[in-house]
Amino acid sequence: MAPVEHWPGHLVELPTGRLHVRTAPATAEGADRAVMVHGLGGAATNWTDVMALLRDRVEAVAPDLPGFGWSPPPPDDDYSLRAHVRAVTELIEAGGTGPVHLLGNSLGGTVSTVLAATRPDLVRTLTLVSPALPVLRPRVSNVHLPALAVPWAGQRLARRLERFPVEQRVRATIALCWADPSRVPQRRVDEAMEEAERRARLDHDGDAMLRSLRSLMAAYLRPDRWPLWRLAARVQAPTLLVYGLKDRLVDPRTAGRAARTFPGARLVVVPDSGHVTQMEHPDLVAREVRRLLDSAA
């Protein structure tokens, strides 16, 4: 599909702070509500095309997690996994429409898993695109992430990365997240450049990334405190799992364990996709979500 305009957003006042939220109004009367959560270093705009494709079925709401996108930093500087789960929970409760269809990519998939397991009353269906669930075998393409998560060392490495020109950083991110960077429409590249330049001027940009990553790594390394796989096994909502076979950040071999762990989950592995299948193959993701909605109706 041709790329569409990013959906307009506004700030929502929640008990723990303000959250910037983009909304794609449904074209059908009485449509269900869907909440779509982006990954580490991403933003609500990562869901733009899927939001457009599902408008006849849902009202799509996509938040920028605290400190990401256009959301201000949290008042208490808490970028923990728990804080991100709390923010999305408050957003769903503030909608007042009852349980939602919850979609998450990468870190957003982890957030969505925890929320679905601990607040089943808020989730009708769950769609996870390359969810960041624990695997303790770093790959060549993501071996730098644990280093970034180490205090002091992570800050020094992050400062070194920030010295590279914005265009070089954006191109490197696309190459890391997409199986085929040539598929990225030039319009999306230009938008990413503009957003990266804006983010680079924000004092909290580095903190949002590093502290969120550290909390995620802590959840990986402390299963006694964050039993993410055990939480996955508690999910009651009908679940769709989407993995890219060429994902360089989340090991696609995790897909098998996920399919066995989430009760009654349906697994879709996309051979020519990377870490952000909802951006690389939005038509495919929208089609599979429709199947999930039909089966859960």
75-116 pLDDT tens trace: 999 999 999 999 999 999 999 888 999 999 999 999 999 999
Contact in structure between 125 and 293 (CB atoms under 8 Å): yes
CA distance 163 to 42: 20
Please give the structure tokens belonging to residue 188.
């999306």
From 53, 226, 49, select the one nearest 132 (Cα to Cα).
226
CA distance 207 to 211: 6
Residue 226 has pLDDT above 70, yes or no: yes
**Domain 9-296 CATH assignment equals 3.40.50.150:** no
* Residues contacting 180, CB < 8 A, separation 6+: 272, 274, 280
Give the model's confidence band at 220: pLDDT under 50 very low, under 70 low, under 90 confident, else very high: confident
Q: Report the pLDDT value the prediction gives residue 164, as an integer from 0 to 100.
A: 57
Rounded to two decimals, what is the model's pTM?
A: 0.92
19-66 pLDDT tens trace: 999 999 999 998 999 999 999 999 999 999 999 999 999 999 999 999
Residue 149 has pLDDT above 60, yes or no: no
Contact in structure between 141 and 286 (CB atoms under 8 Å): no
CA quadruple 223, 93, 37, 35: dihedral positive or negative? positive
- Name the percent of the chain in helix, strand, coil, to the closest 5: 45, 15, 35
Residue 144 has pLDDT above 80, yes or no: no
Contact in structure between 20 and 65 (CB atoms under 8 Å): no
Residue 163 has pLDDT above 70, yes or no: no
User: Percent of the chain, pLDDT > 90?
Assistant: 74
Count CB atoms within 10 A of the CB of residue 251.
18
Quick one: average pLDDT of 124-134?
Answer: 96
Q: Report the pLDDT value the prediction gives residue 11, as an integer from 0 to 100.
A: 98
For the chain, the domains span: 9-296
From 163, 37, 144, 153, select the one nearest 101 (Cα to Cα).
37
Mean pLDDT, rounded, of the chain: 90
Q: Report the pLDDT value the prediction gives residue 162, as an integer from 0 to 100.
A: 58
Residue 155 has pLDDT above 80, yes or no: no
DSSP strands (E only) in the chain: 9-14, 17-24, 32-37, 58-63, 100-105, 123-129, 239-244, 266-270
